[in-house]
A and B are shown apart, each in its own frame.
Chain A
Amino acid sequence: MNILVYFIPIALFLGGMGLLAFLWSLKSGQYEDMDGAAWRAIDDDDDRPPV
């Protein structure tokens, strides 16, 4: 059972990373235009954002 000492922190850390990634994506405005993002994904042009 001593293995739990490692596994639980690892599980929580990975979960926390997922949470942070979501909060970051929310903050950086990735959910602001869901319809537009769906279209941009299949746009044939080069996919780099304009400079």
Chain B
Amino acid sequence: MTVCCAPGTEGAVELDRLRHALPSTEELILSSRTIQPGLRQTDLGVPGVYCGACISTIEKALHAFAEVERARVNLSTKRVSIVWKEQVDGRVTDPVDLVRTIVNATGYDAHLFTMADDAGDKLQRDLIRAVAVSGFAATNIMLLSVSVWSGADASTRDLFHWISAMIAAPALVYAGRFFYQSAWNAIRHGRTNMDVPIALAITLSYVVSLWETMHHGDHAWFDATVTLLFFLLIGRTLDHVMRDRARAAISGLARLSPRGAMVMLEDGGREYRPVEDIRPGDRLMIAAGERIPVDGEVESGRSDLDLSIVNGESAPVGVGPGGAVQGGTLNLTGSMVVRATAAARDSFLAEVILLMEAAEGGRARYRRIADRAAQLYSPAVHLLALIAFFSWGIFGGDWKQAMLVAVAVLIITCPCALGLAVPVVQVVAAGRLFRNGVMVKDGSAMERLAEIDTVLFDKTGTLTLGRPRLINAQEVKPAYFEIAGGLAVHSRHPLSQALHGSVPGAVTMFSGVSELPGQGLEARTEEGVYRLGNRVFACGSAAETGTASEVVLSLDEKELACFRFEDAIRPDAQNAVAALSDAEFATGILSGDRAPVVEALARRLDVALWRAELSPRDKVDAVEELGRNRNRVLMVGDGINDAPALAAAHVSIAPATAADVGRQAADFVFMHDSLNAVPLAIEVSKRAGRLIRQNFALAIGYNVFAVPIALAGYATPLIAAVAMSTSSIIVVANALRLNSMARTEIGLAPMGQAHTVPAEAKLA
């Protein structure tokens, strides 16, 4: 099973084990919900599940527990929902066991995630129901209409018209309500959108058809009315399904901010409290591997902190008693007692969110292409219908005929093709990106991405992986390598883990290794005292202070080997940046890290414009300054400190390993390690933009032919039905060309393949 899924791991988000340690019992209980007395439900994200074997392995492993009432894996959203009994035979259940079972059974991470609100889900269901109802009405009315067109007359025709009217009325109210609501909202605010001509056309055509039916007329437009509604609802539903799928995939990722912390009470007891209930002055127990929930000051204990997600600093920083810690940082090596100095709402993260909300604006002002088109289109259409009505009325003298012509104009020009033109292209494009591990939050993101001219990157975690990599493995003697690896295996410090991971063969086994947080590891053996850590610790106080990214191995304070590390560059970062420069985008780096590190990376990637040691505020200012110079900026970043800049930029992309707030601020989230996701997203968005414009041209071209027919009074319901369906089919077929274009993609294809799961691997 694990073997079967192994190819998937390349495609899955490479979740760093250290960052996503198992959630604690308290956290799991806090996030579960009671569904019945004694029964609780926990939903876990399992981003690694890929195939049917994963489903049965996880479900079987969980059902083996007596505590588990039922467990079900959802492969589409990559979630497991477990319903478990609070106690079995008087023994209280520990939900961590269940999570551990999933991890052990599959080798994949299971973690908690923030429950997304269900509002979007409900709307999607309503839309699908409306599609079903309008589809039912459309087919039945069309059957009756075909009979009328093929020669039913007199009382039979009237009967068929009456039945059609009775089917259409409830369908119009039930399925048309989305358009009526949206159109009403637009008109109330003095605007017009695509839904105004739609609402007007379906209402008018229904009323006129009903009037015709009552007076035994030849032509009724019930079929056109309902078919129009059906097609338009398909477009609207597709738009929602796309957004919903991305939302589910993104909210399934691990939460990087803690839900609560263990508070030490005055009387010596302990209590697990949600983050919101932590007050300044509370003393918090922070174990190694946990995130610090709020800003605070270390009271006792020493440790190393990973600040990368908070301020972009790539090297871990040691802290001791009296040191200040920021909320959101990850405690790596030792356990500490931290006294909270601020409540969650005044902590660093909360400041960043405020900054982010202030920065938002450019995005809110953006108007979707379809709405911009509607702004020109709907007044033109309404004017045309009005002119037709008055000219037929005044010059022809037959106001009934004039009304019929006006309705025919409205139906023929009704933006059926336009309503499908945008969503179908965007759904096809989003599906293509989805298969390459890029999630699109909504359609407007793709429209904005097609307009950009400048790309700004964050450094730590974006251009680099935020994971150290050993760079001088060849210079070290294999014997020392084995010793260092044997020591490093005892530590969770990222440098130790990287060192252990890069030892080629077996490692020396040590017993009795002790870790001194903030300094290093020590083992007392017969040969002497081995130490692995920073230079001062390993070689005694006499040595000069070394740089943060080196680890020294010593025997009795005598240096044996020195291991140097650098932050591993994200795969394809070089290609991606070069591809962007070739496409004549301006590129730049905005980093919170120290200047020499940023400069070295900028030189390596050949990026001229770089700025270091920026605060979140500085990043926003840099982005906004470019925005004022009429540049359209794409911001790619992952940290908490990038979130305001992500919100301020015209459009933004974040990797899946980004902080929650960054992921929420970004328009696109990419799941794989490769940075080629960025040029791919731009490329697909640009193609989608081209196809949307083509579709508009097709829809307008169709109107140029069809409108004169309607104006001349020759448009019968039959002609309208044929014209409407053909134009919709042409537009959809054109949108599907995006998929065939993708197949012939040159240059971008090889990178996509390396990181997606090949079909054969899935079936193997």
Residues in A28-51 with C-beta less than 8 Å from chain B:
31-36, 38-40, 42-43, 45, 50
* B143–chain A nearest beta-carbon distance, Å: 7
* B22–chain A nearest beta-carbon distance, Å: 24
* Mask: chain B, 124-138; 1 = CB below 8 Å from A; 0 = not: 010011001100100
B56 close to A45 (CB less than 8 A): yes
A1 close to B75 (CB less than 8 A): no
The secondary-structure label for the interface of chain A is: helix
A positions within 8 Å CB-CB of B? 1, 4, 8, 11-12, 15-16, 18-19, 22-23, 26, 31-36, 38-40, 42-43, 45, 50
- Residue in chain A with minimal CB distance to B128: A26
B74 close to A33 (CB less than 8 A): yes
- With A26-B128, A33-B77 given, is the CB distance from A40 to B55 under 8 Å? yes
The answer to whether the Cβ of B17 comes within 8 Å of any Cβ in the partner chain is: no
- Residue in chain A with minimal CB distance to B166: A12
- With A8-B163, A26-B128 given, is the CB distance from A36 to B136 under 8 Å? no
| B167 surroundings in chain A (CB, below 8 A) | 12
Cross-chain contact of A23 among B51, B73, B132 (Cβ < 8 A): B132
A36 close to B73 (CB less than 8 A): yes
Cross-chain contact of A50 among B70, B133, B140, B143 (Cβ < 8 A): B70
Cross-chain contact of A33 among B70, B76, B139, B159 (Cβ < 8 A): B76
The answer to whether the Cβ of B397 comes within 8 Å of any Cβ in the partner chain is: no
A39 close to B52 (CB less than 8 A): yes
| A1 surroundings in chain B (CB, below 8 A) | 156
* B45–chain A nearest beta-carbon distance, Å: 14
Bound state CA distance, A4 and B148, in angstroms?
A: 14
Residues in B65-106 with C-beta less than 8 Å from chain A:
70, 73-77
Bound state CA distance, A48 and B125, in angstroms?
A: 27
- Residue in chain A with minimal CB distance to B152: A1
Cross-chain contact of B136 among A18, A31, A35, A38 (Cβ < 8 A): A18
Residues in B124-179 with C-beta less than 8 Å from chain A:
125, 128-129, 132-133, 136, 139-140, 143, 156, 159, 163, 167
Give the A-B pair count, Cβ closer than 8 A. Answer: 55
Question: Can you spell out 17 A-B residue pairs with CB atoms less than 8 angstroms apart?
Answer: A1-B156, A4-B159, A11-B143, A12-B163, A19-B132, A19-B133, A26-B128, A26-B132, A33-B75, A35-B75, A36-B55, A38-B52, A39-B51, A39-B55, A39-B75, A42-B52, A43-B56
Cross-chain contact of A22 among B56, B59, B132, B159 (Cβ < 8 A): B132
B63 close to A36 (CB less than 8 A): no
| B132 surroundings in chain A (CB, below 8 A) | 19, 22-23, 26
* Mask: chain B, 33-55; 1 = CB below 8 Å from A; 0 = not: 00000000000000000011001
| A43 surroundings in chain B (CB, below 8 A) | 52, 55-56
* B728–chain A nearest beta-carbon distance, Å: 22
* A19–chain B nearest beta-carbon distance, Å: 4
Bound state CA distance, A1 and B163, in angstroms?
A: 16
| A35 surroundings in chain B (CB, below 8 A) | 75-76
| B74 surroundings in chain A (CB, below 8 A) | 32-33, 36
A50 close to B63 (CB less than 8 A): yes
* B172–chain A nearest beta-carbon distance, Å: 16
Bound state CA distance, A36 and B600, in angstroms?
A: 46
- With A8-B163, A50-B63 given, is the CB distance from A15 to B136 under 8 Å? yes
| A22 surroundings in chain B (CB, below 8 A) | 132
A23 close to B129 (CB less than 8 A): yes
* B234–chain A nearest beta-carbon distance, Å: 15
| B70 surroundings in chain A (CB, below 8 A) | 50
- With A11-B140, A18-B136 given, is the CB distance from A32 to B129 under 8 Å? no
- Residue in chain A with minimal CB distance to B70: A50
| A31 surroundings in chain B (CB, below 8 A) | 128
| A12 surroundings in chain B (CB, below 8 A) | 140, 163, 167
- Residue in chain B with minimal CB distance to A41: B52
* B431–chain A nearest beta-carbon distance, Å: 13
B140 close to A15 (CB less than 8 A): yes
* A11–chain B nearest beta-carbon distance, Å: 7
Residues in B167-207 with C-beta less than 8 Å from chain A:
167
| B75 surroundings in chain A (CB, below 8 A) | 33, 35-36, 39
- With A11-B140, A40-B55, A50-B70 given, is the CB distance from A26 to B76 under 8 Å? no
Bound state CA distance, A18 and B74, in angstroms?
A: 27
| B140 surroundings in chain A (CB, below 8 A) | 11-12, 15
